[in-house]
Amino acid sequence: MILRLAFASLMARALTVAMTILAIALSVALFLGVEKVRTGAKASFADTISGTDLIVGARSGSVQLLLYSVFRIGNATNNMTWESYRDIEARPDVDWIVPVSLGDSHRQFRVMGTTTAFFDRYKYRSGQSLSIRDGQVMDDLFDTVIGADVAETLGYETGDPIVVAHGLASFIEHDYQPFRVSGILAKTGTPVDRTVIVSLKAIEAIHVDWQSGVKIPGQSTPVDVIRQLDLEPQAVTAALIGVKSRLQVFGLQRAINEYQQEPLLAILPGVALQELWQIVGIAETALIAVSGMVVVTALIGMMATIFASLNERRREMAIFRAMGARPRTITGLLVLEAALMAALGAVIGLALLYVGLAIAQPVVDRAFGLWLPVEAPTLREFSVLAGVVCAGVIVSMVPAVRAYRMSLADGMMVRI
């Protein structure tokens, strides 16, 4: 009975109520959206590397090393010499080591030089291996394997020739070496999707006619001469390492960090990631706080509209009272109306979130490489929604108590 009354009363003021509900819905969608992006980003980062025990690079910071070697964010301060790489490779506790050589680009995508072992050793999303969607792993000096996003964005098929440019935003292109797409990787949701993979030797081959970052004028070595050259790399950017036994990880890490011949740094990917979250944590908290405040603002807005409506409804309330409604009923009516508005707002907010996710998902993935999963709401999200409804009820108590006190006297009195 009272529910029907509340509903009818809301319908009678449909426009104001709709606006209030919209405000709540938007704020709820924002709050849940921030949460989604936050957990999505974390999961997407954490899923990017798995199965690698150590990452080695020039001595800098662990977060920096992790970011440039795995996420292709930022640049290396220094390279690591090939001799050191071989030294580490020769250590008895090293099971496998995969070099990573960065610094060149193809259009907006980074080129990574590595060995074919990368395809076996690189694991993502708790142990999943890379798989080739089309074609095969590089086999010739000028073969490249491209990530799914590279293929999609640039419309490449296997067998297409491509040109690799030197430096990241360079206009000069290494247009003398005809690279060819030999394989396309299946989508992984990691930075590998946006990478052009070539062999380490190919990276050297690109730079045959280059000295100190400048092309030697008038010089261009024909492809078949390059093939004859000894293309032993001088340096790599970083290396991924797997150890034979986990018990040796820390010993190896220490040995690399204390390596006398070259300042090197070995990091545990999981630990470096944790450090990164500690840094990002402050911003995250701020973001959550701001979106939480938006929800509070929307609820206060609802309180304001209820207060405003009390004035309009003075007579209505008085009539209820005159017809025998207890003051408690009036209070209940107002609280129920508020709860209905908050609940509707929460539900619409949730719906908005999913619509937004569905629209934003491919865009965000393409722009930031961030995969936001569209999943059923978690318990945490339901508790947020329940929290919003509860907060709505609590907030509505203020005008409800006022109505409780005034309902009879106020409405019956004739104002002059």
Which residues bind to another protein, rule: CB under 8 A? 50, 53, 245-251, 254, 258, 260-261, 263, 268-271, 274-275
**Closer residue to another protein in complex, CB, 53/410:** 53
Place of tokens 């947020």: 384
Q: What angle do CA 248, 118, 127 make, to 5 degrees?
A: 65
**Is the separation of the CB atoms in 236 and 57 below 8 Å?**
no
Q: In the complex, what is the shortest distance from the CB of residue 240 to another protein, in angstroms, rounded to a whole number?
A: 14
Measured from the CB of residue 399, what is the shortest distance to another protein in angstroms?
A: 46
Residue with Cβ nearer another protein (158 or 257): 257
Q: Are 353 and 29 in contact (CB under 8 A)?
A: yes
Please state, in angstroms and rounded to a whole number, the distance separating the CA atoms of residues 41 and 238.
24
Q: Which is nearer to another protein, 3 or 271 (CB)?
A: 271
* Cβ atoms < 10 Å from Cβ of 59: 17
Nearer to another protein by Cβ, of 9 and 62: the residue is: 62
Identity of the residue, 167 or 251, whose beta carbon is nearer to another protein in the bound complex: 251
Smallest distance, Å, CB 250 to another protein? 4
Identify each DSSP E strand in 19-87 by its residue range.
54-58, 80-81
Q: How many CB atoms lie within 10 A of CB 16?
A: 15
Q: Which is nearer to another protein, 262 or 316 (CB)?
A: 262
Residue 25 near residue 345 (C-beta atoms within 8 A): yes
Beta-carbon contacts of residue 93 (< 8 Å; ≥ 6 apart): 243, 244, 245, 248, 251, 252
Alpha helices in 47-179, H assignment, sequence order? 62-70, 82-89, 117-121, 148-154
Residue 67 CA to residue 72 CA, distance in Å, equals 6
Residue 396 contacts residue 302 (beta carbons within 8 Å): yes
What's the closest the beta carbon of residue 270 comes to another protein, in angstroms?
Answer: 4
Nearest to 67 by CA among 276, 299, 340: 276
- For residue 49, count CB atoms less than 10 angstroms from its CB and return exposed for 0-12, middle for 13-18, buried for 19 or more: buried
Which residue's CB is nearer to another protein, number 212 or number 260? 260
Q: What minimum distance in Å lies between the beta carbon of 275 and another protein? A: 7
Please state the closest distance from residue 249 (CB atom) to another protein, in A: 5
Least distance from C-beta 146 to another protein, angstroms? 29
CB of 35 to another protein, least distance (A): 21
Which CB atom, from 249 or from 306, has the smaller least distance to another protein? 249
